[in-house]
Amino acid sequence: MAKKTFLKITSPVQYVKGIGPKRSLCFKKLGVETVHDLLYFVPYRYVDYSTVLRIKDLHVDDEATVVGRIRLLNYRRTKNWSSLLSIYLTDGSDSIEVLWFNRPDLKKKFKVGDVLMVSGKVGLYKRKQFVNPLYEIMHEDEQSNTTRGTIIPIYPLTEGLSLWDVRRAAKIAVDECLDELNETLPQTVREKHNLMSLPESIKNLHFPEEIRTAQQARRRLVYDEFFFFELMLAQRKAKITKQDGIALRETGTLTKRFVDMLPFTLTNGQQAVIQQIAQDMARERPMNRLLQGDVGSGKTVVALYAMLIALERDYQAVLMAPTEILAEQHFLNLMDILKRLDITPYLLTSSTKKQDREKIADRINRGTARIIFGTHALIEEHVVFNRLGLAVVDEQHRFGVMQRAALVNKGVNPDFLVLSATPIPRTLALTLYGDLDISTLREKPPRRGVVVTKIVRQKERNAAFVLIDKELRRGRQAFVICPVIEKSEKMELKSVKEAYEEIERELPGWSVGIVHGRLKTAERVATMERFRRSDLNILVATTVVEVGVDIPNATIMLIEHPERFGLAQLHQLRGRIGRGADNAYCFLFLDRYVSPETYERIAFFEKNNDGFALAQKDIALRGPGEILGKRQHGLPDIRIGDLDADRELLFLARDDAFALVHEDPDITQPQYAAVRRHLDTLAAKQELLRIG
């Protein structure tokens, strides 16, 4: 008689036979904590064993998969912090060299005698080879089961976990718990788009009979993710449009004076967006608008204009930033013009002295503090606004939905303006920010210098330092950006400390400061202020300066290991220079070998200054994480879908979701019972139906 199982879909993954407490920690690193998580653990590719080639049959430039045993293994360090791991694989027909650059972690994973499955492009250097290919270490049980025609799912792994561990656990989960999965979509929707049932899709995700069925399984799960994501947005938008807001009609008593004081003329784009915002604020429903624009497009000026409209109507306005550096930047940059308007701005952060914090909180409560800049400190319980009319959130992706909602809840349905310096194409913006109205700034203010970007190899470093020295002698300033604070043997990246020492050696006589996330806030702020006043010539920093730092005198940026950053992040960093009238120079110090794909990405950045083009490329190259990681706080997870590759499915899901909410706003009709049930399940996990 078979032993009765007590495994449930909600069971911790450690109770799956063969996992246990120790191995469950490895699964946890991959986001798999329950049997449900395991069922939804998606392979990132599949290998069809009917396509595995013998090594002797490989041709140069082929994309191929081979399986062989490690015969030789050699690891050595090269110049410039690089490393090289070389192995020789043999499969009985021939042998081939396989190389990995800058992967010191692999030397502990492989040993002579291991059987590897290797996939990649066949190269040629004296003889055929693979360079930085995908790989899997094969378990003995897998080797015996890898008959021709078998489809093998390849899962993400971590140290201590083999492909066989995951496959074995997935089989147990599917065999014992698949029946517990409830359908989430109405049959009409499944039939409309020819989607598998949910249990069928999970089974074929892990154990497909052919690649096509695996693709169909993934398509169903991607649609699910997109549909419930868009459903939440549709419900949010419906909820917002029903709320009573504050009609803040512009009088011009402050805004006209403000525009007249500006030392430049507003761009056509700024004027158009200001008109959109003014019309929104005049309505008797809360404004809920996203203002996205490229680096340096003038979003802050537009935001201040909106804040002044609130002040004209005797309401308060607040701007919340994710970091103290950014909050202080707004405060200092706008202080002069606000004082000329007879307005006293206030700054409230966690570093504000306790006595001052209490005074500012009291003024906010009494309404004498009319315009306030700050960080998370603004949403603390003791901070009570008198008449909050407008809440502005800068770089909103860095806040959770609860924090944003907490700021809005400081007033009675105040207007809400979100600023984002990570522009995305309008079609995607409409899809991802479907609950917000969207304004876009593309045009940059005139009389800005040109930013020249150049990839710098090791042999060109000295020439770059000569140019940097020349700029410093002209009275300009420079940023040096590093990916890590301290040196790590595992990462082999230049640290802030090492860069500081090199700068002092190569550029003697110049004052150099350091800023990174581990410094105490007061020290970090003081260093930034010294750099802002030009008391420091060079600032060595991590990405804490990625947004908001405005130093018009800075014309040089040196970025170490640009391969470690995404295109959007590189563009944000580069946006710290070229903010004055002078030309600026961004040097990408690329000292080590990178893959052709990585070099292509960096070369694309070198040639492009358009943030929208870079964002589109980033989506295509890096998948949805860059954007969705910033958007999905308080919304259902999107882990499987790809915003670029699955765009058509995304638009279908959006149309279906908004149509459903239009037909049945509360989703109570019997034909949508499956949707309602899944929505309730998600609500238990997520902070739903809150303005985000």
Mean pLDDT in consecutive groups of 10 residues from the start of the chain, 692 residues: 69 94 94 95 86 91 90 83 87 93 83 89 91 80 51 86 88 94 93 96 95 96 93 86 87 96 92 97 92 87 97 96 86 93 96 92 96 94 94 72 75 89 72 81 81 92 92 95 77 81 92 88 85 94 77 93 89 88 92 82 93 81 56 63 84 94 93 91 61 40
Strand 115-125 and strand 134-137: the pairing is antiparallel
Q: Taking the CB of residue 22, how many other CB atoms lie within 10 A of it?
A: 9
Rg for the chain (alpha carbons), in Å?
A: 28
Q: Which of 107, 135, 154 finishes a domain?
A: 154
DSSP H/E element including 292: strand 288-293
Phi, psi of 151 (to 5 degrees): -95, 120
The answer as to whether 653 is a domain residue is no
- Strand 538-541 to strand 451-456: parallel, antiparallel, or no bridges (unpaired)? unpaired
Instruction: List, in sequence order, every beta strand (DSSP E) within 530-607.
Output: 538-541, 554-560, 584-589
Residues 396 and 495 in one domain: no
Residue where a domain stops, chosen among 154, 179, 206 = 154
Q: Which SS3 state, helix, strand or coil, does residue 455 take?
A: strand
With 0-12 CB in 10 A as exposed, 13-18 as middle and 19+ as buried, what is 133? buried
Least Cα distance to 501 among 538, 527, 457 occurs for 538
User: Are 415 and 490 members of one domain?
Assistant: no
Q: Are residues 267 and 391 in the same domain?
A: yes
**Sheet strands side by side (includes 584-589):** 451-456, 584-589, 554-560, 477-481, 538-541, 512-515
Residues whose CB falls within 8 Å of the CB of residue 102, separated by 6 or more in sequence, listed in order: 82, 83, 492, 592, 593
Claim to verify: residue 331 and residue 401 sit in the same structural domain? yes
Whether 276 is covered by a domain: the verdict is yes
Looking at the structure, do residues 574 and 491 belong to the same domain, yes or no?
A: yes
* pTM exceeds 0.75, yes or no: no
Domain assignment of residue 318, yes or no: yes
End-to-end CA distance of the chain: 54
Q: Do 56 and 147 belong together in one domain?
A: yes
Residues 302, 411: one domain? yes
Q: What is the pLDDT of residue 691?
A: 39
Helix, coil or strand: residue 1 = coil
Question: Are residues 469 and 396 part of one domain?
Answer: no
472 and 387 both lie in a single domain: no
- 77 occurs within a structural domain: yes
- Strands (E) across 450-530 are located at 451-456, 477-481, 512-515
Encoded amino acid at 362, one letter: D
- Gap between the Cα atoms of 540 and 516, Å rounded: 9
On whether residue 323 sits in a domain, the answer given is yes
Phi, psi of 132, rounded to the nearest 5 degrees: 50, 50
436, part of any domain: no
How many separate domains does the chain show?
A: 3
Same domain, 408 and 472: no
CATH assignment at residue 403: 3.40.50.300
Q: Is residue 344 part of a domain?
A: yes
Domain annotation covers residue 273: yes
DSSP H helical ranges for 71-210: 140-145, 163-177, 187-193, 198-206
User: If 0-12 CB within 10 Å is exposed, 13-18 middle and 19+ buried, where does residue 576 land?
Assistant: buried
The pLDDT value recorded for residue 166 is 92
What is the per-residue pLDDT for 6? 80
Residue 52 has a pLDDT of: 86
| Residue in the structure block whose two tokens are 């946006």 | 575
Q: What is the CATH number of the domain that holds 57?
A: 2.40.50.140
- Domain carrying residue 100: 49-154
Residues 266 and 118 in one domain: no
Question: Are both 373 and 272 inside the same structural domain?
Answer: yes
Closest among 450, 406, 484, 681 to 582, alpha carbons compared: 450
* Boundary (domain end) residue, out of 104, 124, 154: 154
